[in-house]
Amino acid sequence: MSTLDHVGNLFAFAGGLGMFLYGMNVMADGLQKTAGNKMRQLLGYLTNNRFLGVLVGALVTAIIQSSSATTVMVVGFVNAGIMNLTQAAGVIMGANVGTTITAWLVSANEWAGALKPEFFAPLILAIGAFIVTFSNKQKLSQKAEIAVGFGVLFIGLSFMSSSIGVYQSSPVFSKAFEILGGNPFLGILVGAVVTAVIQSSSASVGILQTLAMKGIVNWRSAVFITLGQNIGTCITALLSSAGANKTAKRAAVIHLSFNIIGAGIYGIIMTIFFGVFDNLAMQHITSTEISIFHSIFNVSVTVLLFPFANVLVKLSGLIIHEEPEDEEDEEVEEMVLRHLDPRILETPSFAVENAVKEVVRMGDIVLKNMKRVTKEAMNPQPSEKQLDKVFRDEKVINHLETMITGYLVKISNLALTEKQSKIVTDLFYTISDIERAGDHVENIAEFMQMKHDDKIAFSDLAKDELHKMTAQVIKTFDYAIRAIENDDVEIAKQALMGEEEVDRMEKQYRKQHIERLERESCVPEAGVIYIDMMTSLERISDYADNIANYIIDENEK
């Protein structure tokens, strides 16, 4: 065989590998878009019950075809405060089980007979490509993406298989795998490094299976390389946790320690096993047999370590030390997006869901400020400390508006459904309304400070009116935020009715205030501040009305 032939085979293998990785990515994206809401519902079932966590982890990974992607999402959820470490440990264990489905899919070329995927892959690719190109229906196009990914994946496998087949009797390959099989640590290292480089254990196992189909790989080397692949897949989560909080880093460490312990246990067992059954160790392994071992390994390690999940959580705490936060750290923490994390952008349905949660948190900070202001308005001498907290939280609200806006821009560029696109658009308007409401709360705090500094007193009647109107505004704004949180039209309608009541009260109290001025029972200085406070309260109610209408519009069209 000439040098040109060798180079051609190398190019064919590289191209096949590229198609395999790209096909896996496209198929996973299509599955995520199609089943995104179902994944959200699955994660909604998570409690502190680790068994449910394992099932959910396995199902989600089977859907998106990547344990690395699932674990990265888990790191993101932990970082965003959506999931605790006990839940994360269960999902991570389940992810290792779910990832075995890809190996079975690849090995189907051996055991599926006339129905082997490689045979139908070109037709499936063609059908999917035609639908993606000519269909205007979003849901149908998303399902067609799965078909395109499936077809490209198996055509890539075919390329790799045919390019490597000419070397199946080559002594170089047999010697290489003999060395890898003879040294367990080297075999595990190679498996870990290759998987870390391509950041997918499913893909690296698929490459190993392609070599096995041509009779190049022996049992001993395949087993140790597979163990290494399970360690190498942790690199994605570790890299993902680099910019996350310490709890998220602990989730990545749980993933790594789980796979290292599992690989260590099986490494010892299989070394002893091959020492006894030496003849089997050097026999060629098939792609199906790799699938069987891969499944047995991941399922048995999960069963074995499942009772020790809390031990893994504690171990992660020893590796990543938690330090108590001071008040300054807490203030910085307020500025951070708790529910939004770049990792969640991998799954659009989760990204939208958590954007809503972050907007709700922003609204709740405004509500907290309003309650502070209401409490201090009733005090003869407002607390400087409490008013300072109002001003500090207003800075947090402004900062969150900027950060959430940037995140919504990223979400808007994802593949969203029509309803999700509408939600994201409305969230842009919502955060603007919430920020403006926060500005008016700050204005009220400033009016109170001015009133105190200038020693201006309100009449008892004016205090009573302000108290009633503030209570109604808080109630109305709370209805609006809860409507966002629960996507509830009925709660939104409560906010609209609350806003009408605020308008009625504002007109009535303004009229009564003018009458007091005419009777000279109220000094002009107090009257100016009173009117300004009433105006700010009425504006806050208007913003609540806007927010409620967004929710009604999203659900009734």
- DSSP letters, 423-485, are HHHHHHHHHHHHHHHHHHHHHHHHHHHHHHHTT----HHHHHHHHHHHHHHHHHHHHHHHHHH
The confidence band for 98, taking pLDDT boundaries of 50, 70 and 90, is: confident
Residue 233 contacts by C-beta under 8 Å, 6 or more apart in sequence? Answer: 67, 68, 71, 99, 195, 196, 199, 200, 201, 259
DSSP conformation class of 137: -
- According to the model, what pLDDT value does residue 261 have? 93
The angle subtended at Cα 240 by Cα 235 and Cα 246, nearest 5°, is 110
- Given a cut of 50, is residue 325 above it in pLDDT? no
What ranges make up the beta strands (E) of 216-363? none
Question: Within a 13 Å sphere around the CA of 54, how many CA atoms are in the beta-carbon half?
Answer: 16
- Given a cut of 80, is residue 494 above it in pLDDT? yes
Report in angstroms the alpha-carbon separations of 523 from 382, 454, 462, 535: 21, 13, 12, 18
- DSSP SS3 for 347: coil
- Given a cut of 50, is residue 49 above it in pLDDT? yes
Mean pLDDT of the 428-449 span: 90
SS3 content of the chain, % helix, strand, coil (to 5): 85, 0, 15
Distance CA 543, CA 85 (A): 38
Mean pLDDT of the 441-446 span: 87
- According to the model, what pLDDT value does residue 106 have? 76
Distance CA 439, CA 452 (A): 20
Give pTM, 2 decimals. 0.64
pLDDT tens-digit map of 351-392: 888 888 889 989 999 999 888 887 766 666 666 777 788 888
Mean pLDDT of the 46-72 span: 72
Q: What is the rounded average pLDDT for all residues in the chain?
A: 80
The angle subtended at Cα 249 by Cα 243 and Cα 254, nearest 5°, is 150
Highest mean pLDDT among 49-58, 230-239, 304-313, 336-345: 304-313
- Given a cut of 60, is residue 437 above it in pLDDT? yes
Mean pLDDT of the 499-523 span: 83
- Pull the structure tokens for residue 374: 């209401």
- According to the model, what pLDDT value does residue 555 have? 82
DSSP conformation class of 284: B
pLDDT tens-digit map of 9-43: 778 878 877 887 777 677 766 766 665 555 555 55
Mean pLDDT of the 470-494 span: 93
- Report yes or no: 4 and 122 within 8 Å, Cβ to Cβ: no
- Report yes or no: 393 and 365 within 8 Å, Cβ to Cβ: yes
Residue 486 contacts by C-beta under 8 Å, 6 or more apart in sequence? Answer: none
What is the dihedral sign for C-alpha 419, 424, 430, 434? Answer: positive
Top pLDDT among 303 and 161 is at: 303
pLDDT tens-digit map of 269-306: 998 988 888 777 778 888 888 889 989 999 999 999 98
What is the dihedral sign for C-alpha 185, 272, 223, 236? Answer: negative
- Could you please state the CATH topology (level 3) that the domain comprising 331-556 is classified under: Methane Monooxygenase Hydroxylase; Chain G, domain 1 (1.20.58)
Distance CA 490, CA 496 (A): 10
pLDDT tens-digit map of 100-130: 887 787 777 666 655 666 677 788 889 888 8
- According to the model, what pLDDT value does residue 326 have? 45
Mean pLDDT of the 457-483 span: 88
Of all residues in the chain, the percent with pLDDT exceeding 70 is: 80
Distance CA 329, CA 331 (A): 5
**Any idea which of 144-158, 281-295, 433-447, 526-540 has the lowest mean pLDDT?**
144-158
Mean pLDDT of the 509-528 span: 77
DSSP-assigned beta bridge partners for residue 284: 218
Q: What is the residue-wise DSSP string for 403-421?
A: HHHHHHHHHHTS---HHHH
The confidence band for 332, taking pLDDT boundaries of 50, 70 and 90, is: very low
Report in angstroms the alpha-carbon separations of 75 from 87, 96, 460, 487, 506: 11, 15, 55, 26, 49
Highest mean pLDDT among 113-117, 212-216, 477-481: 477-481
- Given a cut of 50, is residue 327 above it in pLDDT? no
The confidence band for 252, taking pLDDT boundaries of 50, 70 and 90, is: confident
The confidence band for 499, taking pLDDT boundaries of 50, 70 and 90, is: very high
Distance CA 369, CA 387 (A): 9
Distance CA 527, CA 514 (A): 9
Domain boundaries, the chain: 3-319, 331-556
- According to the model, what pLDDT value does residue 333 have? 44
Top pLDDT among 438 and 52 is at: 438
Mean pLDDT of the 244-258 span: 82
Region of 520 (left: φ > 0; alpha: ψ -120 to 50; beta: rest) is left
Length in residues, the chain: 557
- According to the model, what pLDDT value does residue 15 have? 84
